[in-house]
Structures are given as structure tokens and as C-alpha cells.
């Protein structure tokens, strides 16, 4: 029997036991279950693995290995939010294994960055906190993918009130006044190339 629960103004689906066996880890944020379904973790994004002539993004292989250690050949419990499936037919879920919140663990280990979703928000605050701490502590990709591992990833990606996306470099005059608010789609970047690829433009110095 399926159980529906209300939380934070929304409804999410809690699948009952038994949990589902993970038979394959596709990458840092996607897994396959024994029953044939593909699951995409909610509210986070990990670096992309290479495809064809495209090379792996920084920390993509590490993110996949971290995900494998967390869930491969283990039984997971899934919680759904408002949107239960994406346009590719993948189940969108918060994933738990042995009491561990996997979405949070990937962010906490610096394997992923928070991905804003204005509809699926049940665990948004928890996940933002994990992502911010990993960035602050320069864990995982926030150290390895930075030009200077000791300084970490310091480029600020800010979305203004008009929806325009700007990135700010540490030496910019107003850099310290720019506040990164993930709940407003603001992001941290390790390089200018990352910011530009994500659709951000350089702000005025």
C-alpha cells in the first residue's frame, strides 16, 4: 500500500518497505534499481561524465565513486516530492540507505552542488546547509577543481532581481557585498569557464 504524507505545504510519496536494490550507479547523481527504474537524485547536480569527444568535467569520476560507495548493491528507500518523474522518465527522489540521507551526503562530501528546484522543496534547507558547509570547508570538488586549492572556489554567481545572471571575481570592487543565496539560484563557481557555460556574464569590475 502506498502512503501519502503532507509536508511543508506539499505532498510527497513515501514508498513502503521493502527497499529497492541498487544494481548500477550511472554517475554522481543517478542510479538504476533492480526493478528497472532509473532514479535521479533531487536538489543536487554532480559534474558530468564525458560522452563522445567531450571530456569528464572536474570531479565527475570522484563523484561517481562516492555515490557507488554510498548505494551500490545496497537497498535504498525513496521519498518523492511534487514532481515524481523528469522528462527522461527517471524517478526523482530523495534517497536513504541505512538511515543516511544520500542527497545530503553527496553535498556534504563536496561531490555535488545544490540545484534549485522551486517545486520540490521538502528538504531544501537541509541540502542548502550541507552544500554551503562543503564549499566553506573546501571539501571535494570545492578544493580539487579550484585554481588554488587552499583558496577554494571563490567566483560568485548572482542572479539579480531582473533574472540576469552575473559572475563576480574576488578582486571586483563590490565582491564582498554580493551574497550567495542558493534559494534564489545563486551559485559558486571554480572557474570563469564554468560560470560562462552556466549562462552567467561577467559583472562590472
Q: Mean of the pLDDT values across residues 95-106? A: 97
Q: Count of alpha carbons within 13 Å of 32, Cβ hemisphere only?
A: 7
C-alpha grid cell for residue 123? Answer: 528538504
Averaged confidence pLDDT in the chain: 93
Q: What pTM was estimated for this model as a whole?
A: 0.90
Q: CA-CA distance, 69 to 105, in Å (whole number)?
A: 11
Statement: residue 12 has pLDDT above 90: no
pLDDT tier, 14 (very low <50, low <70, confident <90, very high otherwise): low
Q: CA-CA distance, 4 to 190, in Å (whole number)?
A: 40
The question of whether 194 is a catalytic residue gets the answer no
Q: CA-CA distance, 12 to 7, in Å (whole number)?
A: 7
pLDDT tier, 1 (very low <50, low <70, confident <90, very high otherwise): very low
Q: Which of 16-20, 36-40, 58-62, 87-91 has the lowest mean pLDDT?
A: 16-20
Statement: residue 2 has pLDDT above 90: no
Residue that has been written with the C-alpha cell 554522481 in this structure: 28
Domains and CATH numbers, the chain: 3-136 (2.40.50.90), 154-202 (no CATH)
The question of whether 54 is a catalytic residue gets the answer no
Statement: residue 171 has pLDDT above 90: yes
The question of whether 90 is a catalytic residue gets the answer yes
- For residue range 25-80, what is the model confidence (pLDDT) as tens digits? 999 999 999 999 999 999 999 999 998 888 999 999 999 999 999 999 999 999 99
Catalytic residue among 65, 90, 154, 165: 90
Q: In degrees rounded to 5, what are phi and psi of residue 155?
A: -80, 125
Q: What is the pLDDT of residue 95?
A: 98
Catalytic residue among 37, 48, 154, 165: 48
CA angle 153–103–11, rounded 5-degree value: 125
Beta strand 113-114 pairing with 155-159: unpaired
User: How far is CA 121 from each of CA 4, 29, 92, rounded to the nearest angstrom?
Assistant: 16, 17, 12
90: left (phi over 0), alpha (psi -120 to 50) or beta: beta
Strand (E) positions, the chain?
3-7, 10-14, 20-27, 30-33, 38-41, 44-45, 75-79, 91-97, 100-101, 113-114, 155-159, 165-168, 187-189, 201-202
Q: What is the pLDDT of residue 16?
A: 53
Amino acid at each position: 500500500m502506498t502512503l501519502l504524507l503532507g509536508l511543508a505545504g506539499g505532498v510527497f510519496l513515501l514508498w513502503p518497505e521493502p527497499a529497492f536494490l541498487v544494481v548500477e550507479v550511472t554517475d554522481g547523481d543517478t542510479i538504476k534499481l533492480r526493478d528497472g527504474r532509473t532514479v535521479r537524485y533531487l536538489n543536487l547536480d554532480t559534474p558530468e561524465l564525458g560522452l563522445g569527444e567531450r571530456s569528464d568535467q572536474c570531479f565527475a569520476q570522484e563523484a561517481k565513486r562516492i555515490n557507488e560507495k554510498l548505494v551500490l548493491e545496497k537497498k535504498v528507500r525513496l521519498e518523492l516530492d511534487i514532481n515524481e518523474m523528469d522528462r527522461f522518465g527517471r524517478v526523482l527522489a530523495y534517497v536513504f540507505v541505512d538511515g543516511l540521507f544520500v542527497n545530503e551526503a553527496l553535498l556534504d562530501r563536496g561531490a555535488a552542488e545544490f540545484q534549485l528546484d522551486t517545486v520540490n522543496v521538502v528538504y531544501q534547507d537541509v541540502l542548502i546547509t550541507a552544500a554551503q558547509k562543503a564549499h566553506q570547508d573546501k571539501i571535494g570538488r570545492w578544493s580539487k577543481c579550484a585554481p588554488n586549492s587552499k583558496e577554494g572556489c571563490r567566483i560568485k554567481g548572482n542572479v539579480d532581481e531582473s533574472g540576469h545572471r552575473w559572475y563576480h571575481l574576488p578582486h571586483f570592487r563590490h565582491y564582498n557585498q554580493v551574497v550567495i543565496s542558493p534559494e534564489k539560484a545563486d551559485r559558486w563557481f571554480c572557474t570563469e569557464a564554468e560560470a560562462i557555460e552556466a549562462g552567467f556574464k561577467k559583472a562590472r569590475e
